[in-house]
Amino acid sequence: MSTRKLEQVIESQPSADGDGVRIHRIAGQHLNSRLDPFLMLDEIRSDDSADYIGGFPPHPHRGFETITYMIQGRLRHTDHMGNEGVIESGDVQWMTAAHGVIHSEMPEQQEGLMHGFQAWLNLPGQEKMKAPAYRDIRAADIPQIKTEQGVIVRVIAGDLSVDGRKTSGVINGLTTEPVYLDISLPAQASVQLDLTASHRVLVFVFEGQTDQLRTRQMGAYGTGEELVLTANAQPTRLLVLAGKPLREPVVQYGPFVMNSQAEIQQAIADYQSGRLTQLP
């Protein structure tokens, strides 16, 4: 079997979004082809409420999916469709913005650690204008595998084999065939993941370090049948994102991601006129 090799190391950058929320971000036009089918990964991690209390007041999206994963803390979602819910430690919200969503994401806490991630997953051009959808996934419903070395793999989305053991995540059947994993590695432990050989694979370390990546670095790996991850001399935790590249033009303007400038202009006009959320 061919082993995937690390091709690029990407540093996350301090940034701010929403109402002054401090985050670390991996995104940008220069990374579109490397991240494809993903568009962005944000991490929020702070125990200072001033860094997150402003939250993300109502804002629009069109053309992609958002995946919000809470490590610790509480976040309330509301949207124009009448959906409302709170995700807590270990929970996931998977939202398909598609034709258009106006939603808010606000902290459901006044103090304490807020730690979580939001990934943007692109939609193929033919699906960008489909009806929006929303799903909360509770921590208890996410399959978990523990290996003989004590490695714990939480399988949020996708099908994969871990050290020869096959499992399926909660989310499946999407065109981009996404895989989303949260992996905890004891010090110096390794894990072998068998993923679709031609799919893009990204690894983001958020605690500890592997033999190739430090904390808050993302590694982009080449093609191959297996991915081997090894912790250094300390326990390590990381995300693995994988999917089928779309290889389509990406044109982004803030919260809108389409295939052409004309489609972006239409999204802006629809939002300004109140038609963003009106399905044909």
Residue with tokens 């808050």: 216
**Angle CA 202–66–250, to nearest 5:** 70
How far is it, in rounded angstroms, from Cα 44 to Cα 25?
A: 9
pLDDT of residue 172: 95
Tens of pLDDT, residues 91-148:
999 999 999 999 999 999 999 999 999 999 999 999 999 999 999 999 999 999 999 9
pTM: 0.97
Q: Are 75 and 117 in contact (CB under 8 A)?
A: no
- CA-atom Rg of the chain in angstroms: 18
Confidence of residue 178 (pLDDT cuts 50, 70, 90): very high
Is the pLDDT at 236 greater than 80? The verdict is yes
Q: How confident is the model at residue 241 (pLDDT cuts 50, 70, 90)?
A: very high
194-205 residue pLDDT tens? 999 999 999 999
Contact present, 52 and 46 (Cβ < 8 Å): yes
3-class secondary structure, 267: helix
Of the chain, the end-to-end C-alpha distance in Å amounts to 48
Domains of the chain in sequence order: 6-273 (2.60.120.10)
The whole-number pLDDT of residue 162 equals 85
**φ/ψ (deg, to 5) at 184:** -110, 125
